[in-house]
Amino acid sequence: MNLGKDHINQLQGFIQLCQATPEVLHAPELAFFKNYLIGLGATLPAKPAEPKVEESPEKEEVKAEGENIERPEKDEEKNDEADEIIESDVEIDTEGILEPDNDPPLPVGEENRNDYQKAIDLLGEAIVLNPSSAALYAKRASCLLKLNKPIACIRDCEVAIRMNPDNAQAYKYRGRAQRLLGRWEEACNDLATACKIDYDEQANEWLKEVQPNVSRQNYEGNSETVAKCANA
């Protein structure tokens, strides 16, 4: 095989390159030539260490920014710990707070049992113990009304109204008691007042029941009671 002059010159130039930079023999594309030399028993120079890649200024800048971002989180953690310490040192004022009562449930009556006389007796005992409660008088008046005792009912209602002029229940039961006695104007006044203070469907029904009788009794239409009941 005859080698041309050009091939010889190229081979000579390649050998000069290998002599000047022997690490070129470790190039991946010359692996075939490297294996050939090793097969001939040639000793090749050691493969040079790969150069350490230095971080670019941009990366260092990003890293520095990252470090700056993390620092506030650490500062926040320190602040949270300080807040927890402060909170743990704060004493809560428990003055006026009561311990839960563990008394057994109070007795309740049967749903269909209507022992109004017994209720009146018990309410009387409660009034003796708490005579300034308008609500107790109004409640006893409702029981007296159930037993068709309108006069006694009116007495209790009047006591309740003296104690609390805005007791709608007292006006309601007194108005009903007045109706049972045929006192139409008084009944209309009381029931209208009850609905004005605190509207109640039953009181309104009782009011509608007495309004026609008030109108008949004052047919001329010049009574203040008629006007009040009509506007209720």
Angle (CA) 218 224 226, round 5°: 50
pLDDT at 112 over 70: no
Express each pLDDT in 77-111 by its tens digit. 666 666 665 555 667 777 777 777 777 775 555 44
Query: What's the mean pLDDT when you consider all of the chain?
Result: 78
Among 46-55, 81-90, 208-217, the minimum mean pLDDT is found in 81-90
DSSP 44-71: PPPPPPPPPPPPPHHHHHHHHHHHHHHH
pLDDT the model gives residue 218 = 67
Q: Dihedral sign for Cα 50, 54, 56, 62, please.
A: positive
DSSP 91-140: PP--TTPPPPP-PPPPP---TT---HHHHHHHHHHHHHH-TT-HHHHHHH
Q: CB burial class (10 A; 0-12, 13-18, 19+) of residue 204?
A: middle
> What mean pLDDT is predicted for residues 156-165?
97
- For residues 26 and 144, the model is more confident at 144
The dihedral over CA atoms of 184, 190, 192, 196, expressed in degrees to the nearest 10, equals 180
Classify residue 183 by its DSSP letter.
-
pLDDT the model gives residue 197 = 96
Classify residue 209 by its DSSP letter.
H
pLDDT the model gives residue 108 = 55
- For residues 206 and 42, the model is more confident at 206
Express each pLDDT in 168-183 by its tens digit. 999 999 999 999 999 9
Express each pLDDT in 7-19 by its tens digit. 777 777 777 777 7
> What mean pLDDT is predicted for residues 198-202?
94
Q: Are 167 and 203 spatial neighbours (Cβ–Cβ below 8 Å)?
A: no
Greatest mean pLDDT range, 173-177, 211-215, 222-226, 227-231? 173-177
Residue 50 — pLDDT band, cuts 50, 70, 90? low
pLDDT the model gives residue 111 = 46
Greatest mean pLDDT range, 45-49, 184-188, 225-229? 184-188
CATH number for the region 110-230 comes to 1.25.40.10
Residue 23 — pLDDT band, cuts 50, 70, 90? confident
pLDDT the model gives residue 87 = 58
pLDDT the model gives residue 35 = 81
pLDDT the model gives residue 190 = 96
Tokens matching residue 2: 């005859």
Residue spans of the domains in the chain: they are 110-230
pLDDT the model gives residue 30 = 74
DSSP 31-51: HHHHHHHHHTTPPPPPPPPPP
pLDDT at 210 over 80: yes
